[in-house]
């Protein structure tokens, strides 16, 4: 059945800038009694929170003592007295402590259907692109007052399943969509190049990634096929790598010949693009208990983060793919009318960000569990912080930091949320 065309009258894009809070921007350390009142308790206890971010776990987070200050760590590193890992850990601790001052500084609701994909501009730290279930795309520079660029989609059947800026020309972007196309577009919505297309509505593309170094595009469809193409649009191969829908494809940022594919067939597979000859030529197959939403390589390429459709996040080490992974229990179950929840890395630190969908069947669920953004340490798997805004309390499906690592964009239903430090918002 052909997709329904969008009616002429449309809801105009709505961009709302949230006022910044005037509360103290240097929160004191929590005493045990205060931590208990704010809900920093063990499983099974009720929680109460103030009107700002959720400070779960902050009782254990303290400003590093003078001996571990950033300035001292940098000085010792310059003198050769401190290794880079210890300096990196000090910087990460400082960043985690700063999350207590993160607030929603910008909020937009430009679509008449839920948002489904998100990408930051690689060189403009205040510009992001978001795609919707109706095929609409907004390119929003929230650092200026100009009206965002809005590209209208086809409506029903036009879901933007993946979106990436073109690393070779950042005035263009790649998309894969449910209308059966993977293409390169400009900011006016014109199709520059069609990389893959289905002539029937029984097949569509669910995932896509791009490599600037190898100059290739990889895209996966709803029946398990993965296509590899060069930047000129020439198909290099088209193979059925999974038994079911390929929900995510990711090229390793450091070894761009290394490809990870995730599927609802409950497997993640690791491939060497130089040696792919058929569906059984994978390097490793990583079985899961449930269908999988995403598989993201860490920024240094040394780890792989997977998110299933139930209650488990896994962190695999690239040096030992076949060893048991680090398992992080977390409620984020799949729901048909919800954009699938996907855990993501911070671009500079070993931190994981993921939206929480409280589940009464989850073992550590409490009656007052909130729909937070949970922050985990990528090394230990421990929950170290939670972001929450009572005025935006829906389920947050997607989270991604800009390349600088200081601003977080989130997708919550129809809404786009931009989080940053309150001090940064006051300076703008």
Instruction: Give 225-273 as a DSSP string.
Output: EEEEEETTS-EEEEEE-SSS-EEEEEE-SSSTTEEEEEETTSEEEEEET
Q: How many CA atoms lie within 13 A of 316 on its CB side?
A: 24
At 123, list the tokens: 């060189």
Q: Give the percent of the chain with pLDDT over 90.
A: 70
The predicted-structure confidence for 262-294, as pLDDT tens digits, reads as follows 999 999 999 999 999 888 999 999 999 999 999
Q: Give the pLDDT score at 76.
A: 57
Q: Give the pLDDT score at 341.
A: 98
The predicted-structure confidence for 79-108, as pLDDT tens digits, reads as follows 555 555 677 888 899 999 999 999 999 999
**Could you identify the residue written with the tokens 């090394």?**
379
Q: Give the pLDDT score at 321.
A: 87
**What are the DSSP E strand ranges found in 330-367?**
344-345, 351-355
The predicted-structure confidence for 108-167, as pLDDT tens digits, reads as follows 999 999 999 999 999 999 999 999 999 999 999 999 988 999 999 999 989 999 999 999
Contact 386, 54 (CB under 8 A): yes
Predicted confidence band of residue 58 (pLDDT cuts 50, 70, 90): very low
Backbone angles phi and psi of 25, in degrees to 5: -95, 5
pLDDT at residue 62 is higher than 50: no
For residue 265, CA distances in Å to 213, 224, 306 come to 30, 9, 14
Distance CA 88, CA 324 (A): 26
At 56, list the tokens: 């779960």
Higher pLDDT residue, 396 or 17?
396
Q: Specify the 3-state DSSP secondary structure of 206.
A: strand
DSSP codes joined into one string, 180-196? TEEEEEETT--EEEEEE
Q: Give the percent of the chain with pLDDT over 70.
A: 79
Mean pLDDT to the nearest integer, 388-394 = 95
Q: Give the pLDDT score at 413.
A: 96
Q: Specify the 3-state DSSP secondary structure of 36.
A: helix
DSSP codes joined into one string, 71-114? HHHHHHHHTTSS-HHHHHHHHHHHHHHHGGGEEEEEEE---SS-
Distance CA 226, CA 278 (A): 11
Kindly give, in sequence order, each residue whose CB lies less than 8 Å from that of residue 30, ignoring residues fewer than 6 positions away.
38, 40, 55, 58, 59
Distance CA 179, CA 5 (A): 12
Q: Which residues are 387's β-sheet partners?
A: 373
Nearest by Cα to 244 from 179, 281, 291, 180: 291
Higher pLDDT residue, 38 or 105?
105
């Amino acid at each position: 059945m052909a997709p329904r065309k969008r009616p002429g009258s449309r809801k105009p894009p709505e961009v709302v800038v949230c006022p910044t809070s005037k509360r103290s921007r240097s929160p004191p350390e929590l005493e045990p009694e205060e931590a208990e009142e704010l809900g920093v308790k063990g499983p099974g206890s009720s929680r109460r929170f103030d009107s700002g971010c959720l400070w779960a776990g902050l009782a254990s987070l303290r400003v590093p003592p003078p001996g571990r200050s950033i300035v001292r760590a940098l000085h010792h590193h310059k003198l050769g007295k401190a290794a880079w890992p210890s300096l990196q850990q000090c910087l990460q601790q400082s960043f985690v402590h700063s999350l207590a001052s993160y607030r929603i500084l910008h909020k937009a609701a430009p679509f008449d259907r839920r948002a489904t994909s998100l990408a930051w501009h690689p060189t403009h730290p205040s510009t992001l692109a978001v795609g919707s279930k109706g095929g609409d795309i907004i390119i929003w520079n929230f650092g200026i007052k100009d009206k965002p660029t809005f590209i209208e989609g086809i409506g029903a059947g036009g879901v933007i399943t993946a979106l990436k800026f073109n690393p070779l020309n950042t005035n263009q972007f790649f998309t894969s969509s449910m209308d059966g196309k993977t293409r390169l577009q400009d900011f006016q919505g014109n199709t520059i190049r069609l990389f893959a297309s289905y002539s029937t509505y029984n097949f569509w593309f669910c995932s896509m990634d791009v490599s600037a170094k190898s100059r290739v595009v990889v895209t996966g469809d709803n029946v398990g096929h993965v296509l590899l193409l060069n930047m000129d649009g020439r198909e290099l191969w088209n193979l059925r790598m999974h038994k079911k829908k390929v929900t995510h494809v990711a090229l390793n940022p450091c070894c761009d010949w290394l490809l990870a594919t995730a599927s609802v067939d409950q497997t993640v597979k690791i491939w060497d693009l130089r040696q792919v000859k058929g569906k059984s030529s994978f390097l490793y197959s990583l079985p899961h208990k449930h269908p999988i939403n995403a598989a993201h390589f860490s920024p240094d390429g040394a780890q792989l983060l997977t998110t299933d459709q139930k209650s488990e996040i896994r962190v695999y080490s690239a040096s030992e793919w076949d060893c048991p992974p680090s398992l992080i229990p977390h409620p984020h179950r799949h729901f048909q009318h919800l954009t699938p929840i996907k855990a993501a890395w911070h671009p500079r630190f070993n931190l994981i960000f993921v939206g929480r969908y409280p589940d009464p069947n989850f073992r550590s669920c409490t009656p007052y569990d909130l729909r937070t953004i949970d922050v985990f340490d990528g090394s230990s798997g421990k929950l170290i912080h939670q972001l929450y805004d009572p005025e935006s309390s829906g389920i947050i499906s997607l989270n991604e930091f800009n390349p600088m690592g200081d601003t977080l964009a989130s997708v919550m239903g129809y809404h786009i949320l931009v989080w940053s430090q309150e001090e940064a918002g006051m300076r703008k």
